[in-house]
Chain A
Amino acid sequence: MPGALSNLRIVELGEMVSAPYATKLMADLGAEVIKVERPLSGDKARLRGPFPGHSFHPEKSGLFLYLNTNKYGVTLDISRPEGMRLLERLVEQADVFVHNVWPPDMDRVGLNYERLHKVNPRLVMTSISPFGLSGPHRNWRAEELTIWSAGGVCVLNGAGPDHPELPPLKTFGSQAGFQGGVHAAVATMGGLIAQMRDGEGEHVDVSVQESLVSQLELTFEYWPYMGLIATRLGRKPIQPVESIRCKDGWIYVCCIEEHQWRGFVEVMGSPDWAREEIFADRVKRGENWEALKIFLEEYCSQQTVLDLYQKAQARRVPFAPVSTMGDLLNSEHLKARGFFVEISHPVAGTHIYPGAPVKYSATPWEIRLPAPTLGQHNAQIFGERLGVSSAQLRELARAGVI
């Protein structure tokens, strides 16, 4: 059975995380994705790692290898007229073009919807940028840390009321990039469904900042509804909802409802202190957290994570281990579900990667190709697909266009 998106043709001019993740989501469902990188240096994700053996190699960067599965790789310098013409010819045959070229660079090389629409009126063009393609910050520079901050997420995390001197804390990894990517994939699919119905394409402008502001849980509305600012410094109104150290790691103790606390007290063997008036309900436990914490730390320090987790869950108490990467790779549950997948790459070798985020009953998620080496498919795509002769290809390579 072919994948859900198996007849789609996508051209991606992507770097780092957002555009590559949007097209990875589609490529893993069967879409054909031609990834365009700049000649010689390629996608910056090739520099990011992690690298096997901690030794840098542009074909062995974990971030790149993960984000670019199932893609063909070509190189093009679109700041050169011959490069832009080849991009136009690729786009002419495509359903979708996804890019995250920084808006001032789009202006500089003349990359815009009008141009590509002329080449292919059915094209859905998705532009992912830090702040979107309009407004006073359109041309602002951005990195993961600054856009995660501008999106209102970063301010919510930090050491809390005990350490107000510590700054807000970034969440690990490239989360702004991932959220820009997955929201762009949603909007692009909308454009594609409309294209299927109407036979016409369109331009989709995705702002990474807005993708983050759209998911601030209840915190954004605290201002328009109540005139309150949500900060990392607030005390938790109810407890216990904290990570606590065990003998062999950390557990996340999570008693939001009263029956969950009662279940935890049973797991602990119903100690006398748990009957104290100061711990009588979740709000009192929040007010008296400093006292409660001493008892819970003492108890947990005698337990192993897995045992406490399973005992709590047996009573419908939603504890969770503070999983290390090793815990994830060794999880019986994830093994039974087959989450992790093995991918062999001609240069980087064979390794285990995160697999399907979602499972479909009728259509497969599958790895057909590892991430491309830089320019791996130039001859195949430019030669066989676009009919560029091998003499012309040599000339384009010599001139640095591909």
Chain B
Amino acid sequence: MAKAPLAGVRVADFTWVWAGPYCTLQLAHLGADVIRIESTSRPCITRVLPPWPDGKPGGLNRSGYFNQYNQGKRSVTLNLRHEAAREVARRLIAQSDVVTNNFAHGVMEKMGFGYEALKRIKPDIIMISLSGYGDTGPYRDYVAYGPAQIPLSGFSALTGYKGWPPMHTGFSYADPNAGVHGAFAILAALYHRAKTGQGQYIDMSQWECAMALLPEGILEYTFNNCEAERIGNSDPHMAPHGIYRCLDRPERIAGHVIDQFIALVCADDNDWRQLAHIMGQAELADDPRFATLQARKQNEDELDAIIGRWTANQHAHELAANLQRAGIAAAVVADNKYLAEEDEHLRLRDYFVYLDHPEVGVRQHAGIPWRMSRSDSRIRSAAPTIGQHTDEVLIELLGYTKEEVDQLRSSGALD
């Protein structure tokens, strides 16, 4: 196998929470040496959020959230309020290709790590700021939290059951979306630098990255001066097109019944004819209420009710397989347990990662969504404990002596 695509590329990673770590996770997948600059006095919030192993909270190294999005990275602790720690950071930047951060506007400048200062340390550095609102514009100092980026960017106004108020997306989707767009931007900048020797600064706004995903809604407005209606799970060009209730999970989880659903789509009349046949109600295919797409859209509530009655007493997993055998697009509406234990496809593709972590042992983690036939792209290690690589990085990479490191530590610069 060839070397990793980013072998030899180093990232001084000042990001935290989710968007930034998701960005540098992609670079770690491709083999970059990503070094997170952390501090025990201000640990990444994902280190102190659940899920906790076996339900027992505590410590800075045990959260499943942090351990998912920081696989394959190293961690150094620096208390950047100390000048000696800022000097360590400068020496690290001098040996880095990329500097990432998602601090509030102006914070990097205040610490002496603005782009102009970084260029003096490393003239061809690539720097990215992942912020909620971007680096310019009247709202650049506004505070952005992950959940609020969904309504801000227009997702909520467009997402919802028919006739209902705006809804959320159920997770802070704008965060990983910004992260992966940021990773692409860094790779494009690395490519440009390899050709020309020129580094650059990348200004990324989560808000704008999210709107890049909403052309159908935005263009309905700019073409026709209309706000798109919320249409639930339906589609203007296909019916049936929905999510239908199946039998509940047989087991209870923490005392709760867990419901299960199937997503099912008939892309055209042939699919619909086939579905009606599988349902044992072949006559529905020629029923004037449902014979054409137009008729099915007009009578969609009735159509959905008929399908829902048919799916209600079936197991989602078996039903999806049966429908796929008949060539109908269907899938279990997968929850985390389904993905972790019941989706044999993901298991057989070796998607999940099982690496030993010093404090939580071997846990199942989500892996890399691509496979490369030649390059070495893989998750190289479990997420780091906080400061796990401080000595290694300072001594082996930055040339500090053991004594200097001890001195820095006793001064509090490495907290």
* Bound: A54/B220 CA distance, A: 9
Whether B250 is near chain A, meaning CB under 8 Å from some CB there, is no
The answer to whether B224 and A50 touch across the interface, beta carbons within 8 angstroms, is yes
The answer to whether B64 and A218 touch across the interface, beta carbons within 8 angstroms, is yes
B5, B264, B340: the one contacting A146 at CB < 8 Å is B264
The answer to whether A313 and B180 touch across the interface, beta carbons within 8 angstroms, is no
B64, B135, B183: the one contacting A221 at CB < 8 Å is B64
A178, A189, A353: the one contacting B191 at CB < 8 Å is A189
Whether A93 is near chain B, meaning CB under 8 Å from some CB there, is no
* Bound: A137/B349 CA distance, A: 10
Whether B189 is near chain A, meaning CB under 8 Å from some CB there, is yes
Whether B6 is near chain A, meaning CB under 8 Å from some CB there, is yes
Q: Which of A150-188 contact B (CB under 8 A)?
A: 150-159, 164, 166-175, 178-179, 182-187
The answer to whether B375 and A210 touch across the interface, beta carbons within 8 angstroms, is no
Q: Which of B338-366 contact A (CB under 8 A)?
A: 338-341, 343-346, 348-349, 351, 360, 363-366
A203 nearest in chain B by CB position: B373
> A232 contacts which chain B residues (CB < 8 A)?
170
Given contacts A5-B192, A210-B351, contact A154 B243 (CB under 8 A): yes
Whether A76 is near chain B, meaning CB under 8 Å from some CB there, is no
* Bound: A80/B164 CA distance, A: 49
* Bound: A63/B212 CA distance, A: 11
Stretch of A284-292, A332-340, A385-393 on the interface side = A332-340
Number of interface residues of B (CB under 8 A): 163
- The smallest beta-carbon distance between A260 and chain B, in angstroms, is 8
- The smallest beta-carbon distance between B112 and chain A, in angstroms, is 19
- The smallest beta-carbon distance between B179 and chain A, in angstroms, is 8
B136 nearest in chain A by CB position: A337
The answer to whether A178 and B213 touch across the interface, beta carbons within 8 angstroms, is yes
* Bound: A178/B210 CA distance, A: 11
> A197 contacts which chain B residues (CB < 8 A)?
3
- Counting contact residues on chain A (CB < 8 A from B), the size range is 35 or more
The answer to whether B204 and A216 touch across the interface, beta carbons within 8 angstroms, is no
Given contacts A146-B329, A326-B221, A358-B181, contact A336 B51 (CB under 8 A): no
* Bound: A47/B236 CA distance, A: 11
B146 nearest in chain A by CB position: A217
The answer to whether B216 and A173 touch across the interface, beta carbons within 8 angstroms, is yes
The answer to whether B137 and A333 touch across the interface, beta carbons within 8 angstroms, is yes
> A217 contacts which chain B residues (CB < 8 A)?
18, 65, 171-172, 175-176
The answer to whether A169 and B220 touch across the interface, beta carbons within 8 angstroms, is no
Whether A370 is near chain B, meaning CB under 8 Å from some CB there, is no
Whether B285 is near chain A, meaning CB under 8 Å from some CB there, is no
* Bound: A190/B201 CA distance, A: 20
* Bound: A278/B166 CA distance, A: 28
> A186 contacts which chain B residues (CB < 8 A)?
26, 30, 180, 183-184, 187
Stretch of B76-84, B147-155, B388-396 on the interface side = B147-155
Whether B261 is near chain A, meaning CB under 8 Å from some CB there, is yes
- The smallest beta-carbon distance between A57 and chain B, in angstroms, is 12
Given contacts A323-B151, A358-B209, contact A189 B187 (CB under 8 A): yes
A4, A63, A155: the one contacting B215 at CB < 8 Å is A63
The answer to whether A220 and B340 touch across the interface, beta carbons within 8 angstroms, is yes
B245 nearest in chain A by CB position: A167
The answer to whether B156 and A209 touch across the interface, beta carbons within 8 angstroms, is no
* Bound: A88/B209 CA distance, A: 34
Interface core residue of B139, B235, B365 (most chain A CB under 10 Å): B139
The answer to whether A196 and B143 touch across the interface, beta carbons within 8 angstroms, is no
- The smallest beta-carbon distance between A370 and chain B, in angstroms, is 13
The answer to whether B155 and A172 touch across the interface, beta carbons within 8 angstroms, is yes
The answer to whether B158 and A173 touch across the interface, beta carbons within 8 angstroms, is yes
> B68 contacts which chain A residues (CB < 8 A)?
218, 220-221
Mostly, the A contact residues are mixed
- The smallest beta-carbon distance between A320 and chain B, in angstroms, is 4
Stretch of B33-41, B86-94, B225-233, B402-410 on the interface side = B225-233
Mostly, the B contact residues are mixed
The answer to whether B224 and A219 touch across the interface, beta carbons within 8 angstroms, is no
Stretch of B251-259, B275-283, B295-303 on the interface side = B251-259
Given contacts A190-B6, A202-B373, contact A146 B330 (CB under 8 A): yes
The answer to whether B154 and A324 touch across the interface, beta carbons within 8 angstroms, is yes
- The smallest beta-carbon distance between A126 and chain B, in angstroms, is 8
Whether B291 is near chain A, meaning CB under 8 Å from some CB there, is no
Stretch of A269-277, A360-368, A372-380 on the interface side = A360-368
The answer to whether B64 and A132 touch across the interface, beta carbons within 8 angstroms, is no
> B181 contacts which chain A residues (CB < 8 A)?
182, 357-358
Given contacts A143-B238, A228-B254, contact A252 B51 (CB under 8 A): no
B258 nearest in chain A by CB position: A229
A159, A191, A225: the one contacting B53 at CB < 8 Å is A225
> A136 contacts which chain B residues (CB < 8 A)?
344-345, 348
Whether B267 is near chain A, meaning CB under 8 Å from some CB there, is yes
The answer to whether B185 and A333 touch across the interface, beta carbons within 8 angstroms, is no
> B136 contacts which chain A residues (CB < 8 A)?
336-337
Given contacts A169-B167, A184-B370, contact A193 B194 (CB under 8 A): yes
* Bound: A143/B344 CA distance, A: 20
Interface core residue of B67, B216, B324, B335 (most chain A CB under 10 Å): B335
Interface core residue of A166, A221, A318, A334 (most chain B CB under 10 Å): A221
* Bound: A137/B50 CA distance, A: 32
Whether A70 is near chain B, meaning CB under 8 Å from some CB there, is no
Whether A109 is near chain B, meaning CB under 8 Å from some CB there, is no
> B63 contacts which chain A residues (CB < 8 A)?
218
- The smallest beta-carbon distance between A231 and chain B, in angstroms, is 6
The answer to whether A190 and B171 touch across the interface, beta carbons within 8 angstroms, is no
* Bound: A300/B340 CA distance, A: 42
Whether A140 is near chain B, meaning CB under 8 Å from some CB there, is yes
The answer to whether A145 and B235 touch across the interface, beta carbons within 8 angstroms, is yes
Whether A226 is near chain B, meaning CB under 8 Å from some CB there, is yes
> B370 contacts which chain A residues (CB < 8 A)?
183-184, 187, 204-207, 210
Given contacts A4-B191, A225-B51, A325-B217, contact A359 B6 (CB under 8 A): no
> Assuming A167-B261, A222-B336, what are 9 further A-B pairs, CB within 8 angstroms?
A62-B219, A141-B327, A146-B265, A173-B214, A182-B177, A189-B184, A206-B370, A322-B157, A361-B202
A-B contact pairs, 11 of them (CB 8 A): A134-B348, A149-B263, A173-B158, A207-B370, A221-B64, A221-B363, A224-B363, A243-B165, A337-B205, A351-B223, A360-B202
**A-B pairs with lowest CB-CB distance, top 5:** A157-B170, A221-B64, A62-B219, A156-B170, A189-B187
